[in-house]
Amino acid sequence: MAPGAAEAEEASGSIARRRRSVNRDGGGVVASLGSQSAARAERSKRRSARRSATLADQSSEGERVAKKMDFGVQEEEEEKVAPPSAPVVEEQQGRKGGEDDGFGGSAGGGEGGTLAPPSASGVEEGIPVEDEASSCCSSPLRQPYIPRVVIGHNATGRQMKLQTLLPRVPDTCLTDRKLLHIRESSTKTVLRAAKFVVGLSSTIDGKSLSQSSGFMIDWDEKSKTGTILTSALLICKQSPSLDNWINANQYASDAEVVVRFVDGTTVEVHFLYCQEHYNLAFYKIVVDRSIHLPSFNEGVKWAEEVFILGRDENSYLRTSYGRVQYLNPHMNERRHYVYIDGFSAPPEYYNGGPVIDLRGDVVGMSTCSTRGSFIPSNIIIKCLQLWRKFQCIPRPHLQLKFWGMKFLNPAHLEVISCKCNIDEGLIVKEVSEGSIAEKLGVRVGDVIEFFNQKHISSTVELELLLLQISEDHLNNGNGLDSKIDIVINPIIACDVL
């Protein structure tokens, strides 16, 4: 046999021996790969169990964060490559005896050759790249952090809690198409006025009594103390009588009254004063917040457009629209009431709320009545002056009821002017039995043109005159129980009515 053939045969035998050696000792390599696969499967099970336990535990946000941090640390520790198993170590030691591994990379071709160093993963370099990659530990899947507020709520449920998407806010009169011509400007006006409008509720011995609206009329920035004006019916112990002149209403000045602001804040207020005839109640409030005060317009005009503002039980702003009516007061109601067309039988929460004009100035305070009425601002301002000056609002009682001639049908006015030669004045509608006026001969149907030498054409003008007479009387040092002389000049009617 040729020397070259002999060498080739010897090399083939050497390769065969090495392959048998690998097959004989290769069980360690196979065992090593199997052990790693089993370890990966076991780690995957443990990670799945920990993820399930983490997601199930939603008891507190702090516990979830702590567990998530611990979970990440354990996963980082498990990502470290496990050391080679015992069969792999034995195989590597066996190769140090001088055998060539037969998979390339050896400098020498005989038994004295040097083995290539093992790879970092503990697997021989001769293993294909895809096998080597599959033997490495894969990066664990990360469970995304889910904020707790999301759990148990869908997108619609979360959105309905946003202030910008409130679905159940009640409509106001400004959404009416009839007010389209003033909606833009009036919306800004109403929102400015709403800053001084509050809601109020009263209770006695823990039982609900009534609710109303009110508005700020005074504020001291230094002491954070202010005054709220509202309706006296807020503290009325029983349903108000349909006849305001009976004086059967009982008022509870000791009732607990709470003010509700639009942001949900509630503040208990303290009773200051109540004037039953004018249906006014004053309360003191102490609150650390920004307060806006209204401006008043004393000259409300007939047929003028106005808005009525109030707050309901949820402190939502309520608005209504109407025009000042050219109308006499109802006989069962106070003669200083002014009525609003289109505002009949208003809800309770409008009671005590401000009435504003299109400029945002307060022209009156809404009051509960059968036809929707308000107390004009000139009466309110005069009452405020008396209360601040004398701590009371006195008013003389004439024991008479009147109608203003100016509000009658023009045809009726023509007849009166022709028969009695009277163009303006107050028509007597009722005279109390046994009153001084009755004793002086005043009868129903008479017309009174002057009071204390001053011409009067409406019942509101009469109320202002009576308040001024009371102020002058007290300024002269007289007491509340003293008598006041009022001069009238009745004109006997001539079968006109």
pLDDT of 407 reads 93
Contact status, residue 233 vs residue 240, Cβ threshold 8 Å: yes
* Pairwise CA distance, residues 30 & 208, whole Å: 84
Q: Which residue has the tokens 């509700």?
A: 260
Considering only 44-53, 182-191, 251-260, 464-473, which range has the smallest mean pLDDT? 44-53
pLDDT of 158 reads 67
pLDDT exceeds 70 at position 221: yes
Contact status, residue 76 vs residue 135, Cβ threshold 8 Å: no
Give the rounded distance of the alpha carbon of 58 from its chain centre. 30
pLDDT of 137 reads 57
First and final CA of the chain: distance in angstroms?
158
What the block records as the tokens of 360 is 């945002």
Q: List pLDDT tens digits, range 305-351.
A: 999 999 999 999 999 999 999 999 888 888 899 999 987 667 888 99
Contact status, residue 321 vs residue 173, Cβ threshold 8 Å: yes
Overall CATH class of domain 169-393: mainly beta
What the block records as the tokens of 47 is 């990670």
Q: Is 216 helix (H, G, I), strand (E, B) or coil?
A: strand
Considering only 207-221, 430-444, 483-497, which range has the smallest mean pLDDT? 483-497
pTM of the model: 0.67
Q: Of 28, 34, 52, whose CA–CA distance to 135 is shortest?
A: 34
Q: What is the DSSP letter of 38?
A: H
Looking at residue 2, its amino acid is A
Determine phi and psi for 84, rounding to 5 degrees: -60, 145
Q: Is 269 helix (H, G, I), strand (E, B) or coil?
A: strand
State the virtual CA torsion across 339, 340, 341, 343 in degrees, nearest 10. -110
Contacts for 298-302: CB closer than 8 Å, 24+ residues apart: 298/376, 298/377, 298/378, 298/381, 299/378, 300/324, 300/338, 300/357, 300/363, 300/364, 300/376, 300/377, 300/378, 302/326
* Pairwise CA distance, residues 223 & 279, whole Å: 28
Q: Which residues of 36-56 are buried (b: 16+ CB within 10 A; e: fewer)?
A: beeebeebeeebeebeeebee
Task: Please name the residues in contact with 10: beta carbons below 8 A apart, sequence gap of 6 or more.
Answer: none
Determine phi and psi for 116, rounding to 5 degrees: -75, 145
pLDDT exceeds 70 at position 265: yes
Give the rounded distance of the alpha carbon of 76 from its chain centre. 48
Q: List pLDDT tens digits, range 40-75.
A: 788 888 888 877 776 666 545 555 554 455 545 455
Task: Please name the residues in contact with 173: beta carbons below 8 A apart, sequence gap of 6 or more.
Answer: 179, 307, 319, 320, 321
Contact status, residue 339 vs residue 371, Cβ threshold 8 Å: yes
Numbered ranges of CATH 2.40.10.120 in the chain: 169-393
Overall CATH class of domain 395-497: mainly beta
More confident residue, 238 or 404: 404
Numbered ranges of CATH 2.30.42.10 in the chain: 395-497
pLDDT exceeds 90 at position 406: yes
pLDDT of 120 reads 44
What the block records as the tokens of 451 is 């009071």
What are the strands, taking DSSP E only, across 59-174?
none
Contact status, residue 477 vs residue 457, Cβ threshold 8 Å: no
Q: Of 205, 396, 393, whose CA–CA distance to 281 is shortest?
A: 393
What the block records as the tokens of 149 is 């507020």
> Parallel, antiparallel, or unpaired for β 266-275 and 280-286?
antiparallel
pLDDT exceeds 70 at position 471: yes
Q: Of 391, 140, 153, 403, whose CA–CA distance to 273 is shortest?
A: 391
Q: List pLDDT tens digits, range 7-22.
A: 545 545 554 454 444 4
Q: List the Cα angle 204/208/214 in 5-degree steps.
A: 95
pLDDT of 154 reads 64
Q: List pLDDT tens digits, range 312-323.
A: 999 999 999 999
Q: Is 366 helix (H, G, I), strand (E, B) or coil?
A: strand
Contact status, residue 381 vs residue 296, Cβ threshold 8 Å: yes
pLDDT of 497 reads 41
Q: What percentage of the chain has pLDDT greater than the value 70?
A: 66
Q: Is 272 helix (H, G, I), strand (E, B) or coil?
A: strand
* Pairwise CA distance, residues 322 & 176, whole Å: 12
Q: List the Cα angle 184/188/191 in 5-degree steps.
A: 135
Q: What percentage of the chain has pLDDT greater than the value 90?
A: 44
Looking at residue 335, its amino acid is R
Contact status, residue 265 vs residue 258, Cβ threshold 8 Å: no
Q: List pLDDT tens digits, range 139-161.
A: 566 666 666 555 555 666 666 67
Q: Of 201, 195, 212, 211, whose CA–CA distance to 352 is shortest?
A: 212
pLDDT (average), residues 70-97:
48
DSSP string, 292-334: ----B-S---TT-EEEEEEE-TT--EEEEEEEE---PPPTTS-
Q: List the Cα angle 193/199/202 in 5-degree steps.
A: 155
